[in-house]
């Protein structure tokens, strides 16, 4: 029997799912038949591989029939679970065996409040319900210090590293597929009435074998003893209303998706040049967003901007977002099929003509320089406490955005606003009044800076309030902002990409662990 090329089978299965039109294939059975037909007509698979693919397809749809209570209910084996069979003699489940897992340390569990445990329970339950969520097996205890650790499934690489390693190889079709994976998983999480609260590229993880991204770390989000009036997360991805002190909502997850869309399009983490948290928080609330890179498809750009709108009410909900991304994704695959048909027809009639690279602007993205030096930001989630920030976030105008991205300097502002003047403990009251007055002026200056950053009077005014540590910020994005109304722009040389070999430690302990 010939060897099954499982990665190729996974690619064909994924394509079959993407091509489903939910307006036409509007029942589970219709979707199954369509996906089955797509697999059977695929020319790249052998007969044995098609049989294997259909078998796996059956497992998928049996699972969905049970999950959504549709069709004839059938039970299938849980092939890759932590337990693989029931021992009738011993009357207990037999374990799967040794497997590589990630152990996530949990700090100060003894001081945890009830909501922290509720979030943890949601991760445990939803990871068992949806395969697209990184498996959460439960707790274990470190025998050396008695600390609790969360036992999670091991994945190959996180999205941040994946994008940076493969940026020059990724086509727009592949970039949109990544966002499609993420929005699909988040739609399932929101469907369970759960908010993730900490979406960023470090906890979007890739499984090379099935060629899919999964979401992790939405349970046990943040330290168990997080202080009151503090926020937890990865600052560049936190919605402005959360930074200004409002409650986390489903819409704040959507904001994070908008920032992730930019990261996938640009190939680097957002706001990578900003080392000061207070300065970054102030600018996010004032409407500053990453500069959209040349070559971004118009529909993708508009959807991204809707997601990061300062008004949560104007952001799309997850179902609307996933449907729009899914339609873009489906059209990409359909365009690819159409190109293949045209190419074959052309070859048959021996029609020859020179290749025309009608769209080359996408190369500007592929040549986009990723520079991770000159910054100390670790891009990990932390606890933040900001004071005297604007109460209401706003959207910046185009002029303000342009001024923001063209500024030649990054101003070093203390993380704690109280550090502006703390030299004399005997004059606390006087210093406090001065700080409040100066901070009010500083907020006004920030707003004015967005309109005209080259005004010498404004720059001198800033220097009177704070000490500005000047350092050059590379103009890392082209001034020319080419936007194209087609998500399928790429050269033929970009049609394939590979995942580098190697093991990745996602800032956690990775051990052989008998769960």
Could you tell me the CATH number of the domain that includes residue 258?
1.10.510.10
| Max mean pLDDT range (145-159, 285-299, 406-420, 484-498) | 285-299
Helices (H) and strands (E) in the chain, counts: 15, 13
Contact in structure between 206 and 213 (CB atoms under 8 Å): yes
Please tell me the predicted confidence (pLDDT) of residue 296. Answer: 93
* pLDDT band, residue 2 (cuts 50/70/90): confident
Instruction: Please determine, for residue 180, whether its predicted confidence score (pLDDT) is greater than 90.
Output: yes
Count the alpha carbons within 13 Å of 402 in the hemisphere toward its beta carbon.
Answer: 9
Q: Is residue 401 part of a domain?
A: no
Are 287 and 200 members of one domain? Answer: yes
Q: Which of 74-83, 234-243, 441-450 has the lowest mean pLDDT?
A: 74-83
Distance (Å, rounded) from C-alpha 275 to C-alpha 477?
Answer: 18
Q: Is residue 181 part of a domain?
A: yes
pTM above 0.85, yes or no: no
* pLDDT band, residue 372 (cuts 50/70/90): very low
DSSP label at residue 150? E
Please tell me the predicted confidence (pLDDT) of residue 164. Answer: 87
Instruction: Please determine, for residue 463, whether its predicted confidence score (pLDDT) is greater than 60.
Output: no
* Stronger pLDDT, 66 or 214, i.e. the higher one: 214
- What is the residue whose two structure tokens read 């168990």? 224
Closest by CA to 219, choosing from 141, 106, 63, is 106
Are 149 and 179 members of one domain? Answer: no
> Residue range 318-343: average pLDDT?
83
Are 298 and 427 members of one domain? Answer: no
Are 238 and 373 members of one domain? Answer: yes
pLDDT > 90: what percent of the chain?
20
Q: Distance from first CA to last CA of the chain, Å, rounded?
A: 34
pLDDT > 70: what percent of the chain?
56
> Residue range 109-138: average pLDDT?
71
Domain that holds residue 465: 411-470
* pLDDT band, residue 187 (cuts 50/70/90): very high
> Residue range 413-421: average pLDDT?
41
Q: For helices 298-307 and 318-348, what crossing angle results, to 10°?
A: 170
Q: What is the mean pLDDT of the chain?
A: 69
Q: Which of 386-400, 432-446, 457-471 has the lowest mean pLDDT?
A: 457-471
Are 435 and 375 members of one domain? Answer: no
Please tell me the predicted confidence (pLDDT) of residue 51. Answer: 86
Contact in structure between 84 and 94 (CB atoms under 8 Å): yes
> Residue range 33-62: average pLDDT?
86
Partner residues linked to 483 by β-bridges? 296
Are 150 and 166 members of one domain? Answer: no
Are 494 and 362 members of one domain? Answer: yes
State pLDDT tens for residues 476-512. 334 444 544 544 444 333 443 333 344 433 333 333 3
> Residue range 202-227: average pLDDT?
74
Please tell me the predicted confidence (pLDDT) of residue 302. Answer: 96
Domain count, the chain: 4
Contacts of 16 (CB under 8 A, 6+ apart): 34, 35, 36, 38, 39, 57
Please tell me the predicted confidence (pLDDT) of residue 293. Answer: 92
Task: Return the ∠ at Cα 499 (arms to 494 and 505), rounded to 5°.
Answer: 145
Are 168 and 129 members of one domain? Answer: no
Q: Is residue 344 part of a domain?
A: no
* pLDDT band, residue 232 (cuts 50/70/90): low
> Residue range 221-233: average pLDDT?
59
Instruction: Please determine, for residue 162, whether its predicted confidence score (pLDDT) is greater than 50.
Output: yes
Instruction: Please determine, for residue 189, whether its predicted confidence score (pLDDT) is greater than 60.
Output: yes
Are 33 and 165 members of one domain? Answer: no
Q: Is residue 331 part of a domain?
A: no
Contact in structure between 192 and 126 (CB atoms under 8 Å): yes
Q: Is residue 308 part of a domain?
A: yes
Please tell me the predicted confidence (pLDDT) of residue 1. Answer: 54
Distance (Å, rounded) from C-alpha 339 to C-alpha 342?
Answer: 5
């Amino acid at each position: 029997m010939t060897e099954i090329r499982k990665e190729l089978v996974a690619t064909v299965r994924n394509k079959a799912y993407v091509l489903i039109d939910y307006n036409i294939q509007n029942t589970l059975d219709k979707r199954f038949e369509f996906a089955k037909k797509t697999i059977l007509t695929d020319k790249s698979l052998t007969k044995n591989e098609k049989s294997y693919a259909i078998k796996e397809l059956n497992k998928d749809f049996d699972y969905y029939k049970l999950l959504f209570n549709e069709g004839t209910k059938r039970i299938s084996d849980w092939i890759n679970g932590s337990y693989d069979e029931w021992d009738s003699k011993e009357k207990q489940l037999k374990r799967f065996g040794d497997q590589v897992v990630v152990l996530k340390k949990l700090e100060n569990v003894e001081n945890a409040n009830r909501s922290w445990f509720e979030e943890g329970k949601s991760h445990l339950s939803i990871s068992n319900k949806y395969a697209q969520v990184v498996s959460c097996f439960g707790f274990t205890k470190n025998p050396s210090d008695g600390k609790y650790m969360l036992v999670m499934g091991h994945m190959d690489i996180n999205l941040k590293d994946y994008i940076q390693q493969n940026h020059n190889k990724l086509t727009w079709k592949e970039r949109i597929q990544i966002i499609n994976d993420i929005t699909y998983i988040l739609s399932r999480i929101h469907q369970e009435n759960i908010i993730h609260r900490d979406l960023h590229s470090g906890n979007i993880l890739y499984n090379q074998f099935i060629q899919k991204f999964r979401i992790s770390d939405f349970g046990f989000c943040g330290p168990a003893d997080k202080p009151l009036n503090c926020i937890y997360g990865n600052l560049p991805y936190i919605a402005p209303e959360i930074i200004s002190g409002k409650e986390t909502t489903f819409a704040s997850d959507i904001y994070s998706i908008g920032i992730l869309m930019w990261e996938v399009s640009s190939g680097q983490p957002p706001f990578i040049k900003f080392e000061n948290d207070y300065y970054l928080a102030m600018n996010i609330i004032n409407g500053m967003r990453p500069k959209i890179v040349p070559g971004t498809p118009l529909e993708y750009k508009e959807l991204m901007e809707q997601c990061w709108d300062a008004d949560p009410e104007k952001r799309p909900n997850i179902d609307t977002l996933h449907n729009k991304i899914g339609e873009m994704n489906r059209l990409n695959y359909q365009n690819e099929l159409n190109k293949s048909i045209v190419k074959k027809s052309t070859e048959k009639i021996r029609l020859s003509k020179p290749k025309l690279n009608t769209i080359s602007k996408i190369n500007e993205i592929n040549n986009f320089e990723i520079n991770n030096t000159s910054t100390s930001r670790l891009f990990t989630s932390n606890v933040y406490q900001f004071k005297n920030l604007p109460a209401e976030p706003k959207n910046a105008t185009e002029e303000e955005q342009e001024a923001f991205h063209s500024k030649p300097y990054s101003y070093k502002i203390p993380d704690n606003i109280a550090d502006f003047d703390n030299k004399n403990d005997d004059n606390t009251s006087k210093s406090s009044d001065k700080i409040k007055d100066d901070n009010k002026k500083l907020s006004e200056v920030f707003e004015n800076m967005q309109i005209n950053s080259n005004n010498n009077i404004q720059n001198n005014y800033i220097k009177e309030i704070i000490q500005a540590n000047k350092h050059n910020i590379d103009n890392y994005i082209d001034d020319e902002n080419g936007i194209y109304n087609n998500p399928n722009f790429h050269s033929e040389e970009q049609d394939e990409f590979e995942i580098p070999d190697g093991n990745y430690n996602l800032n956690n302990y990775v051990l052989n662990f008998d769960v």
